[in-house]
Amino acid sequence: MEEIIITTKFTVFHSAEELPDEVQFLFEQAVKIQKNAYAPYSDFRVGVAIALDNGEIVLGSNQENAAYPSGLCAERVALYQAVSNFPEAEILRMVITAAPKATGIPVPITPCGSCRQSIGEYEIRQQSPIEIYFMGEKGKIYKSESLKNLLPLLFNKKLL
């Protein structure tokens, strides 16, 4: 028998003021686009802002649908839009914000498993890490240097 130990590392910011200016700007954009979420079933609104190496910023919000699972998470809305519109650009960083309608979330909200897999595909494709920042409606902000911290045993095309 063998044991594998996997460790991850996150940077924790205690307030948005500790973030670099360009990341603060992305969070402002993510919070704004969060208001465009269509979340009549969960009342859980998510906003995402992606910074590309060509200077473009791509936004996305979650979109639910009564014919579950036809909706799409904000991360994948923004990710697919970025890659569709700017196929040659690399994704530098992604910021994620979340807020339920009724109560504030004081803890950082991470991407779901499907979004982690999708982000991982593009990180492998571009052969460079994607910084991921995430927060709830308030409180601490976590930064991951790469999707590998969130999904260390990523399923990828090399396994097919």
So what's the pLDDT on residue 159? 83
So what's the pLDDT on residue 104? 73
CA angle 94, 96, 100 (to 5 degrees): 170
In a domain, 2, yes or no: no
In a domain, 77, yes or no: yes
Instruction: Return the closest-CA partner of residue 97 out of 61, 134, 139.
Output: 134
In a domain, 6, yes or no: no
Parent domain of 109:
11-159
So what's the pLDDT on residue 58? 98
In a domain, 101, yes or no: yes
In a domain, 5, yes or no: no
Helices (H) and strands (E) in the chain, counts: 3, 6
Its pTM stands at 0.94
Instruction: Check if the beta carbon of residue 61 is closer than 8 Å to that of residue 42.
Output: no
| Residue numbers annotated as active site | 75
| Number of domains within the chain | 1
In a domain, 42, yes or no: yes
Each residue's pLDDT tens digit in the chain (160 positions)? Answer: 999 999 999 999 999 999 999 999 999 999 999 999 999 999 999 999 999 999 999 999 999 999 888 899 999 999 999 999 999 999 999 999 999 876 778 889 999 999 999 999 999 999 999 999 999 888 899 999 999 999 999 888 888 8
CATH number at 39 reads: 3.40.140.10
Distance in angstroms (rounded) separating the CA atoms of residues 47 and 44: 10
Length of the chain as a residue count = 160
Dihedrals phi, psi of 49, to nearest 5 degrees: -130, 130
